[in-house]
Chain A
Amino acid sequence: MQVPSHVEYEKAKSVEHALELLTRFGPEARVLAGGHSLIPMMKLRLAQPETLIDINGISGLSRITVADGELRIGALVRHGQLLASAVAAGHFPVLRDAEQVIADPIVRNWGTIGGSLCQADPSEDLSAAFGALRAIAVIQGRDGSRRVPVREFHLGPYETVVAPAELLTELRVPIAGDGSGSAYEKVSRRVGDWSIAAAGAVLTLSSDGTVTEAGIGLAAVGAGHFVSTAAEDFLRGQPATDAVFGQAGQVAAEHCQPAADQRGPVDYKRHLTGELTTRALRRAAIRVRARAGGQTV
């Protein structure tokens, strides 16, 4: 049996209390959210925090709401909750698509949105989805809160801008107009496995079918900040056709930096990045058109 090394445990009652505990216990303390990344790492003794600050008891961080033209998702919202949220899926189907293929029901019942982003695993799906959506992370410190675009949130693998005595409290996504649609595509070796590659696409189309804005998120293929700005630049101003989406896929494939592992060699991951980007764009475009026609797909 894998057992972690000795660790102290504190239960935070509020955001303020959590921040106070984090300050008191210093950099060797770690926030415990769903624990589905942290606890396995502790059992493997890859992480050996001195103190766990359990934030699961904090109320107010588990809500999905719409306010001021933004979808707001609390850091303690569980994967399963986001998956089930009609409000979230109504505005951004990419979120439901992604949640459907993240891990398994057991992990989704506990793992949190905040934990996922803070873990900053290079294969993490929500970073790609929120990256594509140009979401904003709200980070709370003892001296107040700051808003950081998700596209500036990650400093590298397993590293974010959240300081040791800060908490990620919320993700905010500006709600787009009618001409937008989104989708997420992922291929893994088996259900519940991490992506070999995954792509999220967010499209805004003008009434004549021109791409006015695009967001392309990529997971597991070494895309800087989980997005492909090259593919986005390529798409802007182009007609939303399958041919263009195919080319955009090529651009995304060329501009990512996948690393080989047992999920696949570099050439395959690159190929898959292109294929999935293209598929996600197609599905996003179908959704834009369906929405214009009053349907959901």
Chain B
Amino acid sequence: MSTAEPDPPLGYGSMRRKEDTRFIRGQGSFIDDIKLGGMLHGAVLRSPYAHARIQSIDVSAAQAHPRVRAVITGETLATRDLAWMPTLAGDTQAVLATDKVRFQGQEVAFVVADDRYAARDALELIDVEYEPLPTVMDARQALDPDAPVVRDDLGASNHIFDWESGDAARTDEIFAAADVTIAEDLLYPRVHPAPLETCGAIADFDPISGKLTVWSTSQAPHPHRLLYSMVAGVPEHKIRVISPDIGGGFGNKVPLYPGYLCAIVGSMITGRPVKWIEDRSENLMSTSFARDYHMHGEIAATRDGKILAVRVRVLADHGAFNGAAQPTKFPAGFFGVFTGSYDLQAAHCQVTGVYTNKAPGGVAYSCSFRITEAVYLVERMVDMLAFELDADAAELRMQNLLRPDQFPYTCATGWVYDSGDYTSTLQLALDKADYTGLRQEQAAGRERGELMGIGISFFTEAVGAGPRKHMDIMGLGMADGVELRVNPGGTAVLRIAVQTQGQGHETTFAQIVAEELGIPPDRIEVVHGDTDQTPFGLGTYGSRSTPVSGAATAVAARRIRDKARVVAAAMLEVATGDLEWEKGRWYVRGDPDQGRSIAEIALAAHSDLELPAGVEGQLDASCVYNPPNLTYPCGAYVCVVDVDPGTGKVEVRRFVAVDDCGVRINPMIVEGQIHGGLADGIGMALMEVIAYDTQGNCLGGSFMDYLLPTAVECPSWELGETVTPSPHHPIGAKGVGESATVGSPPAVVNAVIDALRPFGVRHADMPLTPAQVWRATQGRPLRTDLAQS
């Protein structure tokens, strides 16, 4: 069957992704597809221990391997002052361990060989003597006085930071006086972004020119270039970072990893390009994880269900090095938005970060800098309140949601929500789901002993970091540049600083220009992922591409439109004030036949046409966009599950997702982003977790152990939308990349807990595996982040 493809829209609207042409033909070019002449291959030797002192490393046998070109250890790096590197959170991290290893899978040595087989063989020839040390694997024990100290290089405790937000005294007052208060411990377990393409790099250092080229799996090529120059001592203008096609990032490809640096040093030592690609287990065991938030949540309300305040204490497990990637002034990310979507009188949170003998990281996996944790906390607490008050979870939310006339709304912790129509969004979701009918069906089923559950979550996201005065990463303000040029023939080239990992930037950004200038999207080339080819900007994560770079693109296009107006006025010999714009052309007011198309104007702008004084020829513009505020997408999700009472197995029967991300540029891409995030949510709620045993063994180090959801676990998504434009964004768009990942886990968990109502279950931690569900029905839920016994 073939269906005719409609013409792509001249602006916003659903159109197939331009990048799919190469991807569906298998013609994408990912790191591992790139082969350079004379290229060598690197492999990392990793620690089998979670905590051990390194007594000695003997590399002589590996060095003697006939196909090995170099063996690098921490000692080698130390001679170049490279054994430690800065993390995005202002900590330092061992590139290759020198003193001791601090987590299982930590990098100990790097072998460069003729091929990847020889590199791996040589790893087995390296003899490391370890003296195992006691471990600290449970964040809840990290601050015990007798806990082993992970970072004896820094001090005598595992404490990293304390951070608080909100008004503690006022919150305490309200709690003390409230009719109803509820407290619960909630774990958001450690999960992993698990992009299908693992991390990797090719480094090529040219000793003659002094130029270093790094192809790498990077969501943030420009900040990486700065980091490389800081660490490797090569000046920035001599470094080119190229991020080719990327097979998924989800935050995993924001930080710098030791393997990248080892490839660079390998190339410097051997004088040849060095490729390093990690394998699946290395990715799961050593690269940036997400969550690991141990939360104690509390909610206060009146007896008739008015929510008054939320209070939360968090123990944040950051692993062995604080490698969290988030704006510097926010050590707990944007967790402060735990106030949710409700009109609270007060709120307070206190977050303590700790070191443990686990892999480093902290913020990754489509989480909008910890809003995932925040939304989970508040949406679970609201459901627990409904449980205690015996109230309907939907009605309770309706009663407490912010009303449209309250926007812009400053929440109890100071975030300014830009816009929203929350009650309409929730109502639409309830209607789509036939909420009343579902509740009737549930009641009838309970009579027969069936466990059907209905879960709701309402989330408010805060994305598009961010205003320079508040937000920076390592001192780099979070503004993004773009450069847009209309060619003489009327086609255009847009250069952006953000980096697609599957989001469809080549299409969406072309559509923004198309909407503003009337140039068809397929006549606009979007260039990204190459620091030599693109303006400076911070990259793609935290759903920031459309809010920041999308805004920059629209502003640059409007600058071009203004310039085109001057050129058109010169062409038509009228005053600019006499011209009116319609998509794609300027024409004379009152005489629509008299006009010039953007293509005609482009040609004229490059010609000998005489332009007014001060107007330079050609048709290009740039913009550095400094967002005035974050954008606040929201959504209402309804999940329906069936639980097998005998086995505890959960089946997600339906999932209704109504998202409000403001103006939708390409609705099809938006829906694709939501589909992926909803699947993520099912994964985290039901099966994904990286647990550790007491010795520090990672129990989620392969896809046999770390389960990603498949199509079988996902229902046919039922999507809906409301559109509340962002008032401060040039095109009214809000980010959407992470909305569904943020909003869906609590919907699934709320549904499962709702199903278990006959057992009196109020809470159980994710993932709700069959074992966990059964144990919850027995009143003995599991600690899912520890080895089971």
Contact = CB atoms under 8 A, between A and B. Distances in A.
Contacts of A24: none
A279 interface: yes
B774 A190 contact: no
B713 interface: yes
A190 B710 contact: yes
A189 B646 CA distance: 15
A3 B710 contact: no
A189 B775 contact: no
Contacts of B117: 3, 5-6
Interface residues on A, range: 20 to 34
Contacts of B775: 265, 267-268
B121 interface: yes
B707 interface: yes
Nearest to B279: A2
A190 B652 CA distance: 12
Interface stretch (B89-97, B215-223, B781-789): B781-789
B687 A190 contact: yes
A272 interface: yes
B770 A279 contact: no
B789 A265 contact: yes
Given A3-B117, A189-B769, A196-B771, A260 B789 contact: yes
Contacts of B774: 268, 271-272
Interface residues of B, number: 36
A266 B789 contact: yes
B120 A3 contact: yes
A6 B121 CA distance: 8
Contacts of B771: 196, 263-265, 268-269
Contacts of B788: 260-265
B770 A190 contact: no
A275 interface: yes
Contacts of A192: 710
B423 interface: no
B116 interface: yes
Given A262-B699, A264-B771, A275 B646 contact: yes
B interface secondary structure, majority: loop
A189 B770 contact: yes
B651 to A, nearest CB: 11
Interface string B635-659: 0000000000011110000000000
B710 A262 contact: no
A261 B787 CA distance: 7
Contacts of B769: 189, 263-264
A44 B646 CA distance: 37
B720 interface: no
B116 A187 contact: no
A187 B647 contact: yes
A191 B705 contact: no
B712 interface: yes
Nearest to A264: B771
Nearest to A266: B789
A242 interface: no
B281 A2 contact: yes
A67 interface: no
Nearest to A194: B704
Interface string B133-155: 00000000000000000000000
Contacts of B277: 1
Contacts of A16: none
Nearest to A263: B771
B45 to A, nearest CB: 13
B250 to A, nearest CB: 19
A1 B32 CA distance: 10
Interface of B: 32, 116-117, 120-121, 124, 277, 279-281, 646-649, 686-687, 689, 691, 699-700, 704-705, 707, 709-710, 712-713, 769-771, 774-775, 782, 787-789
18 contacts: A1-B32, A3-B120, A5-B124, A6-B117, A189-B707, A190-B707, A191-B710, A192-B710, A196-B770, A262-B705, A263-B769, A267-B775, A268-B648, A268-B775, A269-B771, A272-B770, A275-B646, A279-B646
